[in-house]
Structure formats: structure tokens, C-alpha cells
A = this chain, B = another copy of it.
């Protein structure tokens, strides 16, 4: 790979506007004020570069400058600002550690602007849409895992009820292993609205509940489907169970009460993909 001349912008104060954006985003587990997701770790940065997102800025600590240079060389749109609009910033190791959401930061970080199509177009983008609605999900690792499974099994969209964890929580971003950059996520959509959307676009609403009498594999999941998954521990609210088209459980061995929410969602998505012949 040919080395390119590289311009780095040195930032040495936590009050620098760029570092403030990283800090606020990671501390709150939310987007920056201008709508960017803060991302940490080389693997996630590579995922961002192969996804339809806009990488706005790269940030590295001084000790990772060589890693940054290799990364820029391997990703032609990254780096000096000559190719695209991506700028590379370097700060001290101390400041980087103070900012980063992990105890042992991996050396590179980025601000990434996600591209999310309008919700209704995502739901009708494929002949048989597959989506999940997470109502009150709390654990960021579970959310990230569900996004990863959603992509793996051809899901079109993730809808988050008003009380669900933020998909921009650093743990959710990490657990998604890059799927957050490719699967559209819609936040703060109330259950009623989701049920209404499902009806209008011909998706069956399947609520997962461990005590349901119907087994998930007995349903026809080749139809357009949205799976409703509830909060860890307490599950879905009763009124939602009443309003869903179907309430189903993952069949489990005797004596086993439930699976965790991410596992239940992933198995439901696998079962749908299996019935569809694993074709998107």
C-alpha cells in the first residue's frame, strides 16, 4: 500500500469542540448534538468504513499514531482530508483514556453519521419484511446482539419503544459488531404506533412470551413479521400481549423458564430465516 501524505490535527484540551463531542456522546450513550455516533476500536472503525455511513472524524492517542497511519492507508477515504472530508485528530494518551468508554481503549475512535431511511420505507423494502420491536429492553449488550442477529437473518428494521436503552450506548455499539451501521434503528416508537404500522403494511405482530401456549415454530413466519420482545425479567406488558396477532414461545426443555431477551430474539429471527429458506 502506497503511503500518502497525512495531515493530523493535534488537540490537547478536553475543551476542544471535537473532544467535547466524543465525551458527551460516550458519557450519555447518545448521539452528539450534530447527530454523530461515537465509535471506539479498530474493528468497529473497519465496519464503519465498509458500511453506508459517513465517517466524520478519526481520533487516536499519540501512542497509536502508527496504527492510525496503517488504518488510513488501508481505507483510502480516511486520513489527510485530501480524499474525502474525514479528518484525523491526535490527542494525548491521557486524554484519550479519560474520554474512552472502555477501561483499556483500543487506540482508534471515530464520529460516524448513520443513514436511516424513513421507517415506512424500511418496512416495505423487501417482499417479506422481518423486523423486531423492543419494548422496554434495558441491557445495551442485548440490544447490540439483537442488531447483529437482525442483520444476520435479513431483518429490515429495529423499532425501539420509548423506554428502551439507547442504541448509541457504547456497549450496544460494541455488541452490534457493526450491524448498527447497516440495520436501521427507530427510537421512541410507541407500541400502539408499531401495531398500527404493522397492520397498515401487512406485517403479522408476533409477541414473544415464555408462557405462551403456541410454539414459535408452529407459526408461518414466511409472512411479513414483526417480533415484539419485552423487557429483561418482566417481559411484554399484558395489553400488548392482547393486541398482538400471535403470542408465541421458544420451545424449551422441561424446567427451563426462559431465555434471555437477546437469545429469544435471535432464535425467533433464525426460525423466520430458516422458514424462508435463508434467502433475504
Q: Which A residues form the contact surface with B (CB < 8 A)?
A: 145, 148-149, 151-154, 177, 179, 182, 215, 217, 250-256, 259-260, 263, 266-267, 270-271, 273-274, 278, 280
Contacts and interface: CB of A to CB of B under 8 A. Distances in A.
A148 B179 CA distance: 25
A271 B273 CA distance: 12
Given A215-B278, A251-B278, A274-B217, A149 B259 contact: yes
Listed residue (A148, A217, A253, A273) with the most chain B CB atoms within 10 angstroms of its CB: A253
Copies of the protein in its oligomer? 2
A143 to B, nearest CB: 14
Nearest to A182: B255
Contacts of A153: 252-253
Contact of A266 (B254, B267, B280): B267
A177 B215 contact: no
Contacts of A260: 145, 148, 177
Nearest to A217: B274
Nearest to A177: B260
Contacts of A217: 274, 278
